[in-house]
Structure 1
Amino acid sequence: MSLVRSYRRDIFQRLAPHFPEGRTPPCLHPGLVWEAARPTMLDPVRVADLARSLATAGFMPPLEHVTLDESALPDWCRWGADQLLADVQRTSGTGDADFSTPDMTEGIAHLESAREILRRVWPEAALETDLLIRVIVYVQGGAFRSATLRPTFGALYLGTTSVESPAAAFEALLHETGHHALYLRNHFEPYVTNGDVMVSHPLRPDPRPVAGAVHAAHVLARMAYGLTRWAAEPTAPSEAAERRDGALHRLRGTIEALEPVAAWTDGGRQYFDDLLKWEKELTAGHPG
């Protein structure tokens, strides 16, 4: 919460001249983060309108659900979708012309079910999600599953496979909120000094920067831990344990990819040592 307040203050210092008098938003929003990230193209009218709409929202307003067919789709949302589509086309070669908009009635129900399960089995992670995530953007296309973009911090982009069941949605929340949490930490303290060096890891087999592999290890550890807590419940579906085992296997592979390559800062070394300890404890409890 302290880091959220500091990051919010940093973003709002850049936008304050454009806030209407007496209308400083109480919370961050991906639309505001996006505007602050592009100072030469910032739209003062858009910033003022969003500030007015958020002024009475409270520190943790209700989660927004957005699909790409909405008539008044925010520019930040369309920009994010375009970035993700380009990445899908570049890495998978699907040739998709565009994302399509699925019927998300069932998917949203699965997501809300996952949020309730997370509150029950890991309330600290649920609070973290409430603090960091303002908007869920639902898209469908090719190999796309889920994503977080730093310039639209506060938004999760989820594909249909990420909300096809409560267990899938549970995993996606832990995964993408984990990216947000690590982006927030690294905004104030870097963990590696060679983040641009390329390495392959189980989440993204195409070579990606070491900084991305650190993110992969972070989110996989969160997924494995959260799914372990849920799978321990007698009523948990078998899918929770299956996803736990998959996350643990990929976590071990990501750690093995990082260990010979990553150059850690002092804070990063402590972080990685803690992650290694966590992984060993989780694996000892579920060696299969």
Structure 2
Amino acid sequence: MTATPAAISRSDSFRFAPSALEGEAIDAAVHEDLAASLAYLAEHLAPAHPESAGALDAVAARIRDGQRLPPVAFGLYYRMGEAALGGDIDAAADIAQVLAQVPAAAPGLQVIYRGGANSDALWPVLEERFGPEEAAGFAPITAEMATDFEARLKDGLALMHSALPDLHGEITAILREVLLAQAPAGAKMEFDGASHYQFWGLLLLNPNHHKTPLAVVEVLAHEAAHSLLFGLTRTEPLVLNSDDELFTSPLRVDPRPMDGIYHATFVSARMAWAMERMSESPALPIELRQEAAHLAAEDRANFAKGIGTVDAHARLSTTGARIMEQARAYIDGQ
């Protein structure tokens, strides 16, 4: 990967409309940051654990040679960093050895599922990060459910590629794995999609939702927009509000920190963009275009609710202000 695409992945060059080049640049920048951090950690491990330090240097070299890593590698990196910062150098060295064994990301968007052997490497790391209570909300699914949803996902990506090629390019540049799971039996609330900044390239989706290709397009636009924000805010947060400050969310019934409100607001604008483009595509059946227009109206209403809270209560960073300015300009038709 050359330095050219990475150079445009700053928030001050961000443009609201999706871009495959921007997706590639952000992914390159995230991996370059990882390589630099691994090399830094290797220096600190070297005196007591030279073999682990060498292993990290080798991973950093692979990344600089253009290799891309799957989400589990990023999860292990955060675990290792926390152990090192906490003074547990031995634990950090052990994690380094595990991280060094993680193979390169497979080409294309991989579908894995909770309960399947293909999630055995990722799930324990993800479960530890979530904690027992939150992890319990992601229950296993059957192989049949996974197969059925993978076909829907393929159809949704094909629809996106046809009608929204720029969004398709951006998403497929950023995402590497979709982990399927469902809510446990008897749950009062269940997720339909999720992402986590410590697992770059990962989406979690519930196959009990997103029953049509259009619904798949919308949820990918939704969740990938969260990942986009993660990639744009590597050096500065979106908001300066404390996480102890809670506010009404446009997309959740429970009060949320301002960072979550900001995410939901921006994501609503990105979803509106996707659905409005779908509604305007002459290649799509009129029924599909009408459904997309209805969904876009809902997304715009959610943006209006969110931006009101952001304007009233958010203390935006320079990065956060620049990004939201772009979203607002799109919604306002500028």
The alignment's TM-score, normalised by the length of structure 2, stands at 0.72
Q: CA deviation at 1:258?
A: 1.3
Q: Could you say which residue in structure 2 is the equivalent of 1:54?
A: 104
SS in 2 for 1:259: helix
Which residue among 270, 274, 277 is the counterpart of 1:229? Answer: 277
CA–CA separation in structure 1 for the residues paired with 2:132 and 2:182 = 10
Q: Is the 8 A contact 2:250 2:261 kept in 1?
A: no
Q: Could you say which residue in structure 1 is the equivalent of 2:220?
A: 173
SS in 1 for 2:315: coil
Q: Could you say which residue in structure 1 is the equivalent of 2:4?
A: none
- Does residue 1:74 correspond to 2:115, yes or no? no
How is 1:82-121 mapped onto 2 (pairs within 5 angstroms)? 83=130, 86-87=133-134, 99-102=139-142, 103-121=145-163
Larger Rg over CA atoms? 2
SS in 1 for 2:306: helix
Q: Could you say which residue in structure 2 is the equivalent of 1:29?
A: 70
Q: Is the 8 A contact 1:161 1:168 kept in 2?
A: no
Q: Could you say which residue in structure 2 is the equivalent of 1:13?
A: 36
CA–CA separation in structure 2 for the residues paired with 1:85 and 1:167 = 34
CA–CA separation in structure 1 for the residues paired with 2:133 and 2:193 = 14
Q: CA deviation at 1:75?
A: 4.3
Q: CA deviation at 1:212?
A: 0.8
Q: Which amino acid aligns with 1:54?
A: A
- Does residue 1:127 correspond to 2:176, yes or no? no
Distance 1:165-1:218 versus aligned 2 partners, 3 A rule: same
Q: Which amino acid aligns with 1:7?
A: V
Q: Is the 8 A contact 1:167 1:240 kept in 2?
A: yes
Q: Could you say which residue in structure 1 is the equivalent of 2:19?
A: none
Identical aligned residues as a percent: 22
Q: CA deviation at 1:177?
A: 0.6
SS in 2 for 1:156: strand
Distance 1:62-1:105 versus aligned 2 partners, 3 A rule: same
CA–CA separation in structure 1 for the residues paired with 2:293 and 2:124 = 36
Q: Which amino acid aligns with 2:224?
A: T
C-alpha distance after superposition, 1:59-113 (max 9, x if no partner): xx21111011223533432443573883487xxxxxx7x6130412221112112
SS in 1 for 2:117: coil
Distance 1:250-1:54 versus aligned 2 partners, 3 A rule: same
Q: Could you say which residue in structure 1 is the equivalent of 2:314?
A: 262
Which residue among 151, 157, 170 is the counterpart of 2:198? Answer: 151
The alignment's TM-score, normalised by the length of structure 1, stands at 0.83
Q: Which amino acid aligns with 1:176?
A: E
Q: Could you say which residue in structure 2 is the equivalent of 1:164?
A: 211
Mean CA deviation greater in 27-36 or 64-73: 64-73
C-alpha distance after superposition, 1:213-258 (max 9, x if no partner): 1110111111110011011124241432232222111111111121
Q: CA deviation at 1:195?
A: 5.0
Q: Could you say which residue in structure 2 is the equivalent of 1:244?
A: 296
Q: Is the 8 A contact 1:134 1:155 kept in 2?
A: yes
SS in 2 for 1:136: strand
CA–CA separation in structure 1 for the residues paired with 2:298 and 2:328 = 17
Mean CA deviation greater in 101-110 or 27-36: 101-110
CA–CA separation in structure 2 for the residues paired with 1:132 and 1:125 = 11
Q: Which amino acid aligns with 1:215?
A: H
Distance 1:242-1:147 versus aligned 2 partners, 3 A rule: same
Q: Is the 8 A contact 1:15 1:47 kept in 2?
A: no
C-alpha distance after superposition, 1:131-152 (max 9, x if no partner): 2111000011141110001121
Give the number of equivalent residue pairs: 269
Q: Could you say which residue in structure 1 is the equivalent of 2:265?
A: 217
Q: Which amino acid aligns with 1:198?
A: L
Unaligned runs of 5+ in 2: 1-23, 40-53, 84-90
Q: CA deviation at 1:11?
A: 1.2
- Does residue 1:198 correspond to 2:246, yes or no? yes
Q: Is the 8 A contact 1:175 1:220 kept in 2?
A: yes
Distance 1:79-1:246 versus aligned 2 partners, 3 A rule: farther
SS in 2 for 1:137: strand
Unaligned runs of 5+ in 1: 90-95, 283-288
